[in-house]
Amino acid sequence: MNEPSKVSAKTIKLAERRVFSQSFKPLYQEGMGLVEQAAEYLDGKGRAEAKKLSRLTATLYAAESMRLTTRLMQVASWLL
């Protein structure tokens, strides 16, 4: 009556995964490095430079800093 459903099993090829992980490592390191560099700048030199800006410019700088950190954290989450 009912035909048995055909289940297609996909084999996981561990060798391919291992090669991929090795090629992914430099991308991961570079992406996380960008996150760290941006955080270091914004917490250090960027904060000092922002204090010299006019009120309007400082507000725009703060908004762009938040956008930058949000995007970099998205990159970090994709990399993880």
Q: How far apart are CA 38 and CA 15, in angstroms?
A: 35
pTM of the model: 0.61
Domains of the chain, by residue range, sit at 16-79
- 45 pLDDT band (50/70/90 cuts)? very high
pLDDT in tens, 51-80: 999 999 999 999 999 999 899 889 888 877
Which of 6-10, 30-34, 48-52 has the lowest average pLDDT? 6-10
Q: How far apart are CA 76 and CA 17, in angstroms?
A: 20
Query: Is the confidence at residue 5, as pLDDT, over 80?
Result: no
Q: How far apart are CA 22 and CA 30, in angstroms?
A: 14
Q: How far is CA 67 from the centre of its chain?
A: 13
Q: How far apart are CA 46 and CA 69, in angstroms?
A: 13
Pick the CATH number of 16-79 from 1.10.8.930, 3.30.9.10, 3.40.710.10, 3.90.1150.10: 1.10.8.930
Sequence-ordered alpha helix ranges (H) in 1-80? 14-43, 45-50, 55-79
